Amino acid sequence: MIVTEAERVRESFADPSRGDASWVTFFSAEATPTSAMSAGLMELAPGGPGLRPHRHAQPEVYFIASGSGVVTIDGVEAEARAGMAIFIPGNAEHAVRNTGKDALRVFYVFPTDSFREVVYRFPSPA
């Protein structure tokens, strides 16, 4: 199965408190004849809040396709720049933000049939 970014619909969270991330889903059982993994491409604009801290049951892999930023996993910050791969354990609180001048583009993969199975849990507002 081969897909392109141009043929996918860009999505984002309706609630701005979750951040300004947008994404396209490449592979997910409800849209493609695939199983066991879902994957897509997230984009974060320079200077924005990024993807706010959250958790989900599934582990996740990020590959930084372009740009630069900071990823935080369970309170530990690390540089995120093009060419880096990052593993995020299941249920770990994590976030990512763009610290560069260009868009931060992150390819992500979940070990689940459908992206819809990934339930994002954000902390309750204070």
Q: What is the pLDDT of residue 125?
A: 67
65 is a domain residue: yes
Domain tally, the chain: 1
Handedness of CA 42, 12, 37, 53 (dihedral sign): positive
Q: How far apart are CA 74 and CA 76, in angstroms?
A: 6
Neighbours of 105 (CB within 10 A): 18
- Its domain, for residue 24, covers 19-117
38 is a domain residue: yes
9 is a domain residue: no
Each residue's pLDDT tens digit, 75-105: 999 999 999 999 999 999 999 999 999 999 9
pTM score above 0.85: yes
Q: How far apart are CA 117 and CA 8, in angstroms?
A: 19
122 is a domain residue: no
Whether residue 126 has pLDDT greater than 80: no
CATH of the domain at 113: 2.60.120.10
